[in-house]
Amino acid sequence: MIYLFLSYLFFPLIKLLSLLRGKDKPFKKILVIQAAKIGDFICSTHLFREIKKTYPNSRLTVMVNPIVKEIAELNPYIDEVIPISSKGYKGFLGKIRLANLIRKGRYDVGITLNPNLPFTIGMLWGLIPIRLTVMPNFCGLTFRLASKFFTKLEPHASGRLVVETYLKLLNHIDIKTDNIAKEVYQSIEADKRVSEFLGLINKPLIGIAVSSGNKLKEIASKKIAEIIDQILKEIDAYIVLIGSAQDKLKAQEVLSLVKVKERILDSTGRFNLGELPALIKKLSVFIGVDTGITYMADALKVPIVYIPGPIDTSEQRPVESRMISIFHRLSCMPCSFVFKTTSFCKYNSKDCINLVTSEEIVLAVKKLLEN
């Protein structure tokens, strides 16, 4: 709370210094902060496009989680990528470092898609004259007090897609659009590397994400193995296991459990994030929970079998591609929201994930392949 106290104490002076910088329009320098992980970054890409379409001569800087640095640097609408981690702005000195970094950028507009105290303080002390953010539908007292330091807030309403809320946020800098299409870009050598990996396969490729950053959403190895066995029994196709190098052990566990060892390709750890879109776009169907690669598949318009599990799909879900969503209505669903996530099941059952059967998933795969 000391940061809030200091901000309120010196707010008249900070406001004056910010205004002395002026509010150039069309804006010359715009900062967007999206420090969440892969899926959240991909679900923000429509903002970068629409900002540059409206202000093509502006310099767009995006602060990102280091995890997404690769795909952020490939985005043609972003002029500068600044990786930031939460460790970098911890404590009082961390807040000062963040504010100094922002102040040196001399931005005309600052937009944070992560409505929290550090970025509020960073943009305020960084002397950005126009400061925008989303007002979460779930919000604690600290941020409610800090939210007074933004020049404009866009309330996020329950039941509305967060990507739509982001677009409404842009209305405050005269950007009018309803285009929520997401975009991902790949590195130059990506197609070549993927072609070498796939060889001469000319059968449907069905991708399965082996893990999730949030373990509450993750499908168990045994269930993944059951899905693979049933797909390979009923469909003349190849399975592609998808994940990062950290998912290699789980992929090996899945492979040890499957009965049918042929027609399975393990891509975990084979491709970096800049190369992965080249593999995803080759898939005939992607099977995934609410995870970053699901939104990559959505951006690339790959058909998706989607297992939302605990999340509120009225707020966030794939919207671009043909999709079959599989879930069982439970009294405890949803329990995880865009601005109020949870990483554990209070009933210790994960029924929202575990009750989805391999038969349901395989039937959905067949329907998407038929169409």
pLDDT at residue 7, as a whole number: 76
Percent of the chain with pLDDT over 90: 84
Q: Which of 267, 262, 238 is nearest to 252 (CA)?
A: 267
Query: 162 near 36, Cβ under 8 Å?
Result: no
Type of residue found at 17: L
- Say whether pLDDT at 186 is over 80: yes
CATH topology of domain 190-370: Rossmann fold (3.40.50)
Provide the whole-model pTM.
0.94
CATH class of 2-173: alpha beta
pLDDT band at 342 (very low <50, low <70, confident <90, very high): very high
Cis peptide bond upstream of 155, omega within 30:
no
pLDDT tens digits, one per residue of 268-293:
999 999 999 999 999 999 999 999 99
pLDDT tens digits, one per residue of 142-183:
888 889 999 999 999 999 999 999 999 999 999 999 999 999
Phi-psi region of 66 (alpha: psi -120 to 50; beta: other; left: phi over 0): alpha
Cα 340 to Cα 352: distance, rounded to the nearest angstrom: 18
Burial of 22: CB neighbours in 10 Å, binned 0-12, 13-18, 19+: exposed
Cα 30 to Cα 3: distance, rounded to the nearest angstrom: 25
Token pair of 203 as six digits:
């059968």
pLDDT tens digits, one per residue of 207-251:
999 999 888 999 999 999 999 999 999 999 999 999 999 999 999
Could you give phi then psi for residue 153, rounded to 5 degrees?
Answer: -125, 145
Q: Do domains 2-173 and 190-370 have the same CATH topology?
A: yes
Query: 360 near 325, Cβ under 8 Å?
Result: no
Domain ranges of the chain: 2-173, 190-370
pLDDT at residue 34, as a whole number: 98
Mean pLDDT calculated for residue range 55-65: 97
DSSP annotation of 311 reads B
Name the one residue in this structure whose structure tokens are 């807040």: 95
Cα 272 to Cα 315: distance, rounded to the nearest angstrom: 29
DSSP annotation of 66 reads G
Cα 223 to Cα 339: distance, rounded to the nearest angstrom: 29
pLDDT tens digits, one per residue of 84-112:
998 888 888 898 999 999 999 999 999 99
